[in-house]
Amino acid sequence: MRGAPRLDGESSGPAGGSADPLDLVIRAPRAIVDGHEVARAIGVRGGRIVALEPIERPVWALRVIELDTSTVLLPGMVDTHVHVCEPGNTDWEGFASATRAAAAGGITTLVDMPLDSVPTTVDVAALETKRRAAEGQCVIDVGFWGGVIPGNESDLRPLHEAGVLGFKAFLVDSGSPDFPPIDRPVLEAALRTLRELGAPLLVHAEDAGLAADAPVVHGRHYADFLATRPRVIEDRAVATVIEATRQTDGRAHVLHLSSANALSMIRAAQDAGIRISAETCPHYLALAAEEIRDGATAFKCLPPIREQANQELLWDGLARGTLTSVVSDHSPCTIEMKELTSGDFALAWGGISSLQLSLPVVWTAARRRGRSLADVVGWMSEGPAGLAGLKQKGAIALGRDADFCVFAPDESFQVDPLRLYHRNPVTPYAGRRLHGVVRSTILRGVPVDSGSSNGEFLTGAVTPSKPAAGTRS
């Protein structure tokens, strides 16, 4: 993060319902509040937003941040789809590197996925192991998803009581032997259990039978790899999730949707009152199959990046509200696992590291389509916070956590992998020019410093279960 805003001394005049000075006031000529860009003075006390005033109103505060018109104050981004990999695969990614990358990208809250770490988060003991691994390392707030696998139904309620925000399951081989896929009966049983708990079930929706029948094609041609993962694999699985959700009256969320064919099914289900939502990812909105060169395995992910025409339909799904969230699906690995030398798409790890770049990637693509920063905030902050039940996150509003991203939307930069904080410097965006520079990230009223560790663990009750850094109680 660069070019942090100027910090001034005190200002005069009370605000926030107390004669005592506020901890902080941010004077922002441009801020996204209630879906609009407005000028506001935002008062903070005890890490919460306690005042939203006209920008010219005098406010008595111990510190003042004065922004200019080149920046827009956004709520902190919320990324509910991050694979941190620690413990067990810390050489892929760890809590220190992941949260630093997130903060540099304007993200103030992330939620960690239950697999790619050892052990996987499928029981309370594994959750506690993961929390101990994260202790003292997190510069932003962190929540955790639990996992649904065959045979752990009795662990779901204890995991929920221990603070996970919801649960994830695969309908297809996850690539991790300790996180096997579930079948239709287990899917329905999990939806019924989680309905009682008031928790969502997040589903990696690809059909196991169709995926197993697809050929494995070795080689450097992206088109050959894409042909092994046709849209129907997603479409059939989404139909399965919709029907199971209808049968159980549960709440399901389709992860990382790449097939635009499924949008009409999801929309019809939503209109019929079925409790189903869906997300997509920056790479599906900004990258297209036609531009992926032979051997460019940095672009490999599952589900795959599809054609430009499909991409435009995903943007339409966002505009119509069928898709409610855009999250990174940050799925890191070592450089060797991406097979950059061989360029063999069949051998390469299927995942994209984009945590630090998600906001500028989405904003670059959105502004070309006439979308606003308020739209981006809805997709990347409000929507994910709502999915995870994080009522204190996702908006600049009274009573919410004072989490902010100071964003310069008209500035641009060229992506240099060596300037990214995630552990292994591999990205399909290398060399791209992106619009939108994160000048500062603020967590509960305190500017995030890469050397700090003030992040907290978030539970389903949206209260800290214990400090992630041991510095806040």
User: In the beta sheet, which residues pair with residue 110?
Assistant: 79, 142
Q: What's the confidence (pLDDT) of residue 453?
A: 86
Q: What's the confidence (pLDDT) of residue 449?
A: 85
DSSP state of 126: H
DSSP output for 338-389: GTTTT--TTTS---B--GGGHHHHHHHHHHHTT--HHHHHIIIIIHHHHHHT
CA atoms within 13 A on the CB side of 340: 10
Q: What's the confidence (pLDDT) of residue 460?
A: 81
Q: What is the number of other CB atoms lying within 10 angstroms of the CB of residue 20?
A: 11
Q: Give dist(CA 158, CA 176) in Å, integer.
A: 23
Percentage helix, strand, coil for the chain under 3-state DSSP, each rounded to 5: 30, 25, 45
Q: Give dist(CA 239, CA 233) in Å, integer.
A: 10
**Which residues of the chain are modeled with pLDDT < 70?**
1-18, 450, 461-473
Cβ(332)–Cβ(424) below 8 Å: yes
Q: What's the confidence (pLDDT) of residue 450?
A: 64
Q: What's the confidence (pLDDT) of residue 470?
A: 36
DSSP state of 137: T
Place of tokens 């903070």: 44
Among candidate residues 211, 213, 201, 281, the one with its CA nearest the CA of residue 241: 201
Percent of the chain with pLDDT over 90: 91
Going along the chain from its start, the domains and CATH numbers come out as 77-389+414-425 (3.20.20.140)
Label residue 87 exposed, middle or buried (CB < 10 Å: 0-12, 13-18, 19+): middle
pTM over 0.85: yes
Per-residue pLDDT tens over the stretch 346-386 = 999 999 999 999 999 999 999 999 999 999 999 999 999 99
Q: What's the confidence (pLDDT) of residue 375?
A: 98
